[in-house]
């Protein structure tokens, strides 16, 4: 996805849309992440389909039932509004499925159901597996780090955003000429950093990201 609006925005669930409570099947423990409702609404207002792509290995581990996963889904939609699609992987790490992130199956299936090419889709997540799945599917991945995101995952991400609303605003901004990268310093204003479509912590990182192979290329 190089220009224009995304064909769909796919959100990871735990740690991205809602607080990560491991193997949670209790709707009463669902808490949205900061700006989550505003971010999803901003995508909806552009007429872009929204979906959730989530690993729920607690089902395979015997810690969750599919009914509990469904109950949490209903609570998420009560808090954040309806999503066009939910794609859930119930398998465990050793099951060898093609859908569990970092495999691309969930993203490909969601895009097929929504009628969009994965190359026009954006995937927002909080860990490296989310971005690896996006890359494997040919989609546009954006890391929105939280306290559980490992520093090396943030450093390796080609695209990051400080919060979900900023990520969405950058994705849905009208293109203005050539792509630019902001490398903030001590005199860069916070609002300039927040408004920038692409940022890098230093000049070397910016150049490495610009010269890296596009996602989906062999």
pLDDT in tens, 128-160: 999 999 999 999 999 999 999 999 999 999 999
Cα–Cα distance measured from residue 133 to residue 35, given in angstroms and rounded to the nearest whole number: 24
- Percent of the chain residues past pLDDT 90, beyond the cut: 79
User: To the nearest whole number, what is the mean pLDDT of the chain?
Assistant: 91
User: Is residue 208 predicted with pLDDT exceeding 90?
Assistant: no
- Identify any residues that bridge with 125 across adjacent strands, giving them in sequence order: 143
User: Is residue 78 predicted with pLDDT exceeding 90?
Assistant: yes
User: What is the pTM (predicted TM-score) of this model?
Assistant: 0.80
pLDDT value at position 26?
97
User: Is residue 212 predicted with pLDDT exceeding 90?
Assistant: no
Helix, strand, coil share (%) of the chain residues, nearest 5:
35, 15, 50
- Identify any residues that bridge with 18 across adjacent strands, giving them in sequence order: 14, 32
Q: Copy the structure tokens of residue 179.
A: 């792509």
| Digit-coded pLDDT (tens) for 86-96 | 999 999 999 99
pLDDT value at position 218?
41
To which residue do tokens 């999803």 refer? 40
Instruction: Name which of 21-35, 111-125, 174-188 the model is least confident about.
Output: 174-188
| Digit-coded pLDDT (tens) for 150-207 | 999 999 999 999 999 999 999 998 654 445 789 999 889 887 887 777 788 988 888 8
pLDDT value at position 179?
57
Distance (Å) of CA 174 to CA 40, 149, 179, 182, 198:
18, 29, 12, 17, 14
For the chain, give every domain's residue range. Answer: 8-175
pLDDT value at position 9?
98
Positions annotated as catalytic residues are 12, 14
Domain covering 8-175 in this structure, CATH number: 3.40.50.1000
What is the SS3 assignment for 107-164? HHHHHHHHCCCHHHEEEEECCHHHHHHHHHHCCEEEECCCCCCCHHHHHHCCCECCCH
**Strand, coil or helix: what is 8?**
strand
Mean pLDDT of 10-33: 97
pLDDT value at position 67?
97
């Amino acid at each position: 996805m190089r220009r224009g609006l995304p064909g769909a925005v796919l959100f990871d669930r735990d740690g991205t849309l809602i607080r990560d409570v491991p193997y949670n099947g209790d709707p009463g423990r669902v808490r949205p992440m900061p700006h989550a409702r505003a971010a999803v609404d901003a995508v909806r207002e552009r007429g872009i389909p929204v979906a959730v792509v989530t690993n729920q290995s607690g089902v395979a581990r015997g810690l969750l039932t599919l009914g509990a996963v469904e109950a949490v889904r209903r609570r998420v939609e009560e808090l954040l509004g309806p999503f066009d699609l939910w794609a859930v992987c119930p398998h465990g790490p050793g099951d060898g499925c093609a859908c569990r992130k970092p495999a691309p199956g969930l993203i490909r299936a969601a895009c097929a159901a929504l009628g969009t090419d994965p190359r026009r889709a954006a995937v927002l997540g909080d860990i490296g597996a989310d971005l690896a799945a996006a890359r494997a599917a040919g989609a546009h991945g954006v890391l929105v780090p939280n306290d559980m995101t490992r520093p090396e995952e943030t450093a390796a991400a080609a695209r990051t955003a400080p919060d979900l609303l900023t990520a969405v605003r950058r994705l849905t901004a009208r293109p203005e000429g050539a792509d630019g990268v902001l490398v903030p310093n001590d005199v860069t204003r916070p609002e300039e950093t927040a408004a920038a479509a692409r940022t890098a912590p230093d000049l070397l990182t910016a150049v490495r990201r610009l010269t890296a192979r596009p996602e989906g290329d062999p």
